[in-house]
Amino acid sequence: MDRLRIVGGHRLQGAVTIAGAKNAALPQIAATLLSPYPVELSNLPQVSDVENMLGVIGLHGAEVGRASHSTTIHAKDIVSTETSYDTVRKMRATVLVLGPLLARCGEAKVSLPGGCAIGARPVDMHIKALAALGADIGVEGGLIVASTRGGLKGARIVLASPSVGATETAMMAATAANGETEILNAAREPEVADLAACLIAMGAKIEGAGTHRILVEGSTTWRPAKHHGISDRIEAGTYAVAAAITGGMLELTNARLENMASVLQVLEAMGVSIWPSDRGLVVSRDGPLRGTDITTEPYPGFPTDLQAQFMALAACAEGASLIRETVFESRFMHVPELMRLGANISLQGTTALVRGGAPLKGAQVMATDLRASVSLVLAGLVSKGETVVNRVYHLDRGYEQLDRKLKLCGADIERISE
By CB under 6 A, residue 166 contacts ligand UD1: yes
Residues 54-113 within binding reach of ligand UD1 (CB under 6 A): 93
Q: Does 170 bind ligand UD1 (CB under 6 A)?
A: no
Binding segment for ligand UD1 among 159-167, 245-253, 385-393, 400-408 (CB under 6 A)? Answer: 159-167
User: Of 267, 32, 269, 51, which is closest to residue 172 (Cα–Cα)?
Assistant: 32
Does position 328 interact with ligand UD1 (CB under 6 A)? The reply is yes
**C-alpha–C-alpha distance, residues 399 and 393, integer Å:** 10
- Would you say 161 or 219 has its CB closer to ligand UD1? 161
Among residues 103, 327, 381, 382, which is the contact residue for ligand UD1, using CB under 6 A? 327
- Does residue 19 bind ligand UD1 (CB under 6 A)? no
48 binds ligand UD1 (CB under 6 A): no
- Cα–Cα distance list, 68 to 40, 71, 261, 400 (Å): 12, 6, 30, 12
Q: Given the complex with ligand UD1, which of 240 and 249 has the nearer CB atom?
A: 240
Beta bridge partners of 37: none
What angle (nearest 5°) sits at the alpha carbon of residue 113, between those of residues 125 and 397? 110
The single-letter code of the amino acid at 275 is: W
Applying CB under 6 A, the span of 39-47, 123-131, 243-251, 254-262 interacting with ligand UD1 comes to 123-131
302 is a contact residue toward ligand UD1 (CB under 6 A): no
Selecting among 105, 116, 198, 409, the annotated active-site residue is: 116
User: Which residues are within 8 A (CB) of 257 and not within 5 positions of it... i.e. 6 or more apart?
Assistant: 264, 276, 281
CA distance 391 to 371: 13
- Across-strand partners of 110? 83, 144
165 makes contact with ligand UD1 (CB under 6 A): yes
Q: Residue 69 CB: number of other CB atoms within 10 A?
A: 15
Tell which one of 63, 76, 77, 124 touches ligand UD1 (CB under 6 A): 124
Three-class SS state of 175: coil
Instruction: Choose the binding region for ligand UD1 from 12-20, 164-172, 360-368, 383-391 (rule: CB under 6 A).
Output: 164-172
Number of residues that bind ligand UD1 (CB under 6 A): 22
| Helix ranges (DSSP H) in 316-381 | 334-340, 370-380
Asked if 158 and 134 touch (Cβ cutoff 8 Å), the reply is: no
Cα–Cα distance, 92 to 123 (Å, whole number): 10
Q: How far apart are CA 245 and CA 215, in angstroms?
A: 43
Nearest-approach distance from CB 121 to ligand UD1, in angstroms: 4
Nearest approach in angstroms of CB 289 to ligand UD1 is 25
CB 76 within 8 A of CB 94: no
- 116 belongs to the catalytic site: yes
The least CB distance from residue 362 to ligand UD1, in Å, is 29
Asked if 25 is part of the footprint of ligand UD1 (rule: CB under 6 A), the reply reads no
| 121: contact with ligand UD1 by CB under 6 A | yes
State the catalytic residues.
116
Q: Residues in the site for ligand UD1, rule: CB under 6 A? A: 23, 26, 93, 119, 121-126, 161, 163-166, 187, 191, 303-305, 327-328
